[in-house]
Amino acid sequence: MPAEMTPSAPATASGFAELGLSDPVLRAVAEMGYTQPTPIQRLAIPTVLMGRDVLGCAQTGTGKTAGFTLPMLDILAGSRARARMPRSLILEPTRELALQVAENFVLYGKYLKLTHALIIGGESMSDQRDVLARGVDVLIATPGRLIDMFERGGILLTDARLLVIDEADRMLDMGFIPDVERIVAMLPQNRQTLFFSATMATEIRRLADAFLQNPKEITVAPPASVAATITTGLALVAEHDKREALRRLIRKEDVQNALIFCNRKRDVDILYRSLSRHGFSVGALHGDMTQSVRFATLEKFKAGEIRLLVCSDVAARGLDIGGLSHVFNFDVPIHAEDYVHRIGRTGRAGREGRAFSIASPGDRLAVEAIEKLTGMPIPRIPVDGLDPVAWAEESGGRRRGRRGEKQKSSAAKPEHARAQRPAAEPRAKETRRDTPRKPSPAYPATSGRGADTTSHEPRSEGVRGFGGDIPAFMLLPTRKSSTAFTVGEPEGEESLP
């Protein structure tokens, strides 16, 4: 097991200059206005420069990206890459996060002659192949497109001596781990691996043990904790009052700009149209949009042309919008971990942020799961002008449906309801008794009229998306993993009998 490091004791070194970075990198960092490293940067940068593997666990918004990009620039400086053979590889779960990392490399490496390539879906593969043919020092990619490129002979990974697996827990949620295992098998055994995750579940630690060699574990915050700079609140309202509650909260708060999260893509469109009709400056963002539309919407939001951005979990990670004042959860997330990543879009880099969630009575178990994960209750807030409601009572099994309502079995019906039967029912039973029954077949019909179309085979996991937000062109056939891991069934899914 790797040794653990925590920032419990105050660090004696101050400033990036004490971390061993080169002058060109320090100059670029200073020009961006950064003077003091964050805890994850203070602990990770010297370790990476020493050539050791790193297992980093830190909540979103703590500066993990700079924690590995800054030392990578110094490690890669002074050498040249060969055609189609990148010298380093950074794996990201989403296109937005890959773009964010690429922007950081451009900004931090402005005084170094290093090249990078971005291999993501939604862009021309021929253009990406041309960039790789010229040789790149840093390759930033999503797993699906990278495997497509490899299978077409456009890339070789035998020269990549530095690997970064970023947002590993998100990779697990999205079903990318088999692809990641296959990619890791293509790299040389003698490499340096940096493994970062916001949470450290059992499955994540298993992967770390398989990918890393004698790593230094760096933990700067409790797993799945909420940043102290974020003020949270939860409004419990009736289901039909959710949109009205959101509008009243937006008007009440001093909202400069805000992300509004929905669980489903079609709800993003519905809420976007609703806010537009009420005169709000709003845009929409989800995975079914084309890449050009998504980029254009993000640029308008970053430039202040759009005040509110309604989005699905495609934006929960990878968006670093400076000075984001608010996050609203219009829907309570199904997975408790997504709550941490959603609200982590605000309160970044030491700034104050505010995050409010809107729950309906059927969301009680989802809210309790979030509070259990974060280790703290979400303060309840009233919404002026709306009647207060209470949580729905739980008296049986609960299935995650469209709104998370509890599905009651027929056994839970009141006794008087079961006793009420039509008067003609006994006669109908006697009539059927006089009619000879046809013997039932041993197996149900599999085709033709009256066929049983219900599948009784176990459901395959396949490639899971964030709320179903992976576009069709990014879905890949199921691939065999180079190393077998049992990661359990996807959270929120139920196996067929």
Q: Model confidence over 102-126: pLDDT tens digits? A: 999 999 999 998 999 999 987 888 8
pLDDT in tens, 291-329: 778 888 988 998 899 999 999 886 656 566 778 999 999
pLDDT average, residue stretch 54-73: 87
Give the CATH superfamily of 230-374.
P-loop containing nucleotide triphosphate hydrolases (3.40.50.300)
Alpha-helical regions (H) of 118-259: 125-133, 143-151, 168-173, 177-186, 202-211, 242-252
pLDDT band at 254 (very low <50, low <70, confident <90, very high): confident
Q: How far apart are CA 182 and CA 193, in angstroms?
A: 15
Residue 78 has pLDDT above 80, yes or no: no
Q: Which of 148-157, 249-258, 480-489 has the lowest mean pLDDT?
A: 480-489
pLDDT average, residue stretch 268-272: 95
Residue 202 has pLDDT above 60, yes or no: yes
Q: How far apart are CA 17 and CA 463, in angstroms?
A: 43
Write b or e for each residue in 427-458: b if 16 or more Cβ atoms lie within 10 A of its Cβ, otherwise e.
Answer: eeeeeeeeeeeeeeeeeeeeeeeeeeeeeeee
pLDDT in tens, 381-396: 999 999 889 998 764 4
Output the pTM of the full model: 0.62
Task: Output the pLDDT for position 293.
Answer: 85
- Mean pLDDT, rounded, of the chain: 78
pLDDT in tens, 403-418: 444 444 333 344 334 4
Instruction: Indicate the residue type of 82.
Output: R
The three-class DSSP label of residue 90 is strand
Look at residues 13, 117, 20, 35 and name the one whose alpha carbon lies nearest to residue 70: 20
Neighbours of 406 (CB within 10 A): 18
Percentage of the residues of the chain whose pLDDT score is greater than 70: 73
Look at residues 48, 43, 34 and name the one whose alpha carbon lies nearest to residue 88: 48
Residue 457 has pLDDT above 90, yes or no: no
Task: Output the pLDDT for position 322.
Answer: 72
Task: Output the pLDDT for position 233.
Answer: 96
Task: Output the pLDDT for position 476.
Answer: 44
Look at residues 106, 130, 102, 104 and name the one whose alpha carbon lies nearest to residue 118: 102
Q: How far apart are CA 235 and CA 256, in angstroms?
A: 21
- Domain range annotation of the chain: 3-219, 230-374
Task: Output the pLDDT for position 238.
Answer: 96
Residue 59 has pLDDT above 50, yes or no: yes
Whether residue 405 contacts residue 395, with contact meaning beta carbons closer than 8 Å, is answered with: no
Task: Output the pLDDT for position 361.
Answer: 95
Neighbours of 178 (CB within 10 A): 21
pLDDT average, residue stretch 21-27: 93
Q: Which two tokens stand for residue 242?
A: 């959710």
Residue with the bigger pLDDT between 464 and 241: it is 241
pLDDT average, residue stretch 36-61: 90
Distance, C-alpha 224 to centroid of its chain = 13
Task: Output the pLDDT for position 122.
Answer: 78
Look at residues 392, 368, 386 and name the one whose alpha carbon lies nearest to residue 378: 368
Pairing of strands 353-359, 162-165: unpaired
The three-class DSSP label of residue 27 is helix
Residue 402 has pLDDT above 70, yes or no: no
Q: Which two tokens stand for residue 453?
A: 């179309």
pLDDT average, residue stretch 7-19: 57
pLDDT band at 6 (very low <50, low <70, confident <90, very high): very low
Whether residue 64 contacts residue 58, with contact meaning beta carbons closer than 8 Å, is answered with: yes
Whether residue 98 contacts residue 320, with contact meaning beta carbons closer than 8 Å, is answered with: no
Look at residues 60, 34, 20 and name the one whose alpha carbon lies nearest to residue 342: 60
pLDDT in tens, 224-233: 778 888 999 9
Q: How far apart are CA 40 and CA 321, in angstroms?
A: 20
pLDDT average, residue stretch 71-91: 90
pLDDT in tens, 356-381: 999 999 999 999 999 998 999 999 99
Task: Output the pLDDT for position 60.
Answer: 65
Q: What is the CATH number of domain 3-219?
A: 3.40.50.300
Whether residue 100 contacts residue 302, with contact meaning beta carbons closer than 8 Å, is answered with: no
Residue 345 has pLDDT above 90, yes or no: no
Q: How far apart are CA 183 and CA 86, in angstroms?
A: 13
Burial (CB count <10 Å: 0-12, 13-18, 19+), residue 69: buried
Residue 472 has pLDDT above 80, yes or no: no
Q: How far apart are CA 492 and CA 473, in angstroms?
A: 25
pLDDT average, residue stretch 344-363: 90
Token pair 């035998």 is at which residue? 158
Q: How far apart are CA 358 and CA 341, in angstroms?
A: 17
Task: Output the pLDDT for position 35.
Answer: 86
Q: How far apart are CA 99 and CA 61, in angstroms?
A: 16
Q: Which of 14-28, 42-56, 481-495 has the lowest mean pLDDT?
A: 481-495
Whether residue 185 contacts residue 176, with contact meaning beta carbons closer than 8 Å, is answered with: no
Q: Do domains 3-219 and 230-374 have the same CATH topology?
A: yes
